[in-house]
Structure 1
Amino acid sequence: MNNSSMYFNCLFCLAIISFNILALLPIKSRAELLQTDTNQSSNECFSLSGETDIDNSFKHYFQSSDYYEQGKLSEAVESRKIAIRLAPDYWLCELQRDRGLGEEEEGKRYYESGLNEYKAPNGDRKKGKTDLMSASKKFESIGNTECKNEVKSLLDSILKNPSPNNPKLKKPPSSKCSRR
């Protein structure tokens, strides 16, 4: 088997796996699909497919939720697959948007955990630094440079002044980088 056919087979397998994962996404209401967030709005996802394709896709998507409620799981999955085939770019965008929101939440959790662990009187400073580095990586992976830079600045300050009384540790995370 040559390299190009192996590459094609690998891409084909990834496409099938992605397609099946998309088919099992949790059912959302139309309102949830239309809601916007700070990462990437659903409106941006709508612009990736034609309006007719998305309307037909939604019909199948909501039909799949009816099947699901009736206990017809195989029909629900098939209907969901049809919905995805009609507007694949839209559904991939939604999947990436949902994943990004989860990554951002995890980054915020690591940031707060690391900060609290490091400045606690009996805290594990090594774990605190590790959590802060994990937060920085999470923010970087989703392109949130503002929070990544905030965490990096704190880490740099800790390297220069490792004391739990470091003035930077007294400052809470910015509202954009915090779960509060």
Structure 2
Amino acid sequence: MRERLRDGAKQNTIRRLDHAAMLTLLDESAVSVPKRGPSKRKAPVGGHREARAKVRVGQGAFRKNVIARHGAQRAVTGPCPEAAHLISFAKNESHEDGLLLRADVHKLFDRGLLAVHPDTLCVEIAPALAGYHYYSEFEGVPIPEGLDRAVVRDLYLTVTAKWKEE
């Protein structure tokens, strides 16, 4: 491997590398490398543009309310909370009840890849995530009591119906 590096340094750091030698190494190790041909894509244009944006008001207070109601433990993944809305803020512009979730799990929840069963209050993972052990390990994990079960049920039915369509 060191012979592939141009400077011969012994310390692992970011440095120049012999591109052709590295491609040979990858070929020898059976790693599939896409062949480069002439690109028809143009480089993206950089710069800035003016824009108007809606700014969501009240997220900090929402997070504090969720922590006050449910405690500072994340539902599913432990401490260091991020507040996730049970009822989409984008649709209702209202800060209703929420869950405390780790940032990546919050994204899964918002994208409908994670649901809470309304009867057991345990996590269910979308079939699309079954092969990802980092997320499938959350299957069956209970979340704290105190959520509006009717809201949880509506969300669960909506989300899991989409899983059946896929």
Q: TM-score, normalised by structure 1?
A: 0.22
Higher relative contact order (CA 8 A, sep 6+): 1
Q: Which has the larger radius of gyration?
A: 2
TM-score where L is the length of structure 2 = 0.23
Structure number with higher helix proportion: 1
Name the structure where strand makes up a greater proportion of residues.
2
